[in-house]
Amino acid sequence: MAQGTYSKEDATLFPTDDPTLISFDYGAPGPDLLPVKLIPIAAQTRFARDDADHVLQYGPVLGDKEFRVELARFLTKEYDNVPVNYENLAVTSGATQSFFNIITLFTHSKTIFLVEDPTYFLAIRMLADHGVSGDRLIPIPTDEHGLQVDAVAETLSRLSSTQSDSCPPGRYPYLLYLVPNHNNPTGSTLTSTRREQLVQLARKHNVLVVCDDVYNLLHYDSTTPPPKRVVAYDDLKGSGNVISNCSFSKIFAPGVRVGWIEAAAGIIKRLAGSGVMYSGKHRYDSYHVKTVMSKPLSLGGSPNHMTTGLLTSLFQTSHFSQNLASLRTTYATRMHAMITTLQTHLPPTAHLVPPKGGYFIWITLPPHINTTQLKQALFSSSTTTNPAFPSLVKERLSFKPGSEFSLKGDTCQNCLRLSFAYYDVSLLVEGWFFAGLVFFKDGVLEKVVDRNGFTFWCVIADHLAIVYFNYANAPLNVQLALVP
Question: What are the residue boundaries of the structural domains of the chain, listed by start?
Answer: 8-32+322-482, 39-317
CA distance 308 to 293: 28
Distance of CA 231 to the CA centre of its chain: 18
114 and 138 Cβ atoms separated by less than 8 Å: yes
Average pLDDT across the chain, whole number: 82
Those residues with Cβ within 8 angstroms of residue 162's Cβ, 6 or more apart along the chain or in another chain: none
CA distance 68 to 75: 10
216 and 229 Cβ atoms separated by less than 8 Å: yes
Per residue in 357-375, is it b (16+ CB within 10 Å) or e — as a string? bbbbbbbbbeeebbbeebb
Euclidean distance between the first and the last CA atom of the chain, given in angstroms as a whole number: 53
Burial category of 410 from C-beta neighbours within 10 Å (exposed 0-12, middle 13-18, buried 19 and up): exposed
Query: Which CATH number among 3.40.50.2300, 3.10.450.50, 3.30.465.10, 3.90.1150.10 corresponds to the domain 8-32+322-482?
Result: 3.90.1150.10
Higher pLDDT, 298 or 256: 256
Number of neighbouring beta carbons within 10 Å of residue 49: 12
Higher pLDDT, 330 or 373: 330
215-255 per-position pLDDT tens digit: 999 999 989 889 999 999 999 999 999 999 999 999 999 99
Least confident of 21-30, 96-105, 158-167: 158-167
Residue closest to 135 by CA, chosen among 105, 118, 117, 159: 159
pLDDT attached to residue 331: 97
CATH of domain 39-317: 3.40.640.10
Distance of CA 397 to the CA centre of its chain: 20
Query: Does the pLDDT at position 34 exceed 70?
Result: yes
164 and 112 Cβ atoms separated by less than 8 Å: no
pLDDT attached to residue 384: 42
Give the rounded percent of residues in the chain with a pLDDT score beyond 90: 60
Measured in degrees and rounded to the nearest 5, phi and psi for residue 120 equal: -60, 125
For residue 51, what pLDDT band results from cuts at 50, 70 and 90?
A: very high
Number of neighbouring beta carbons within 10 Å of residue 131: 11
| Residues counted in the chain | 484
286-312 per-position pLDDT tens digit: 444 344 433 334 456 788 999 999 999
Secondary structure (3-state) at 280: coil
Burial category of 53 from C-beta neighbours within 10 Å (exposed 0-12, middle 13-18, buried 19 and up): exposed
Higher pLDDT, 182 or 432: 182
Strands (E) across 226-381 are located at 242-247, 259-263, 351-352, 360-364
pLDDT attached to residue 342: 81
CA distance 371 to 402: 7
CA distance 189 to 179: 8
Please report which residue ranges of 83-172 form alpha helices under DSSP H.
Answer: 95-106, 121-129, 149-160
CA distance 155 to 133: 17
467 and 455 Cβ atoms separated by less than 8 Å: no
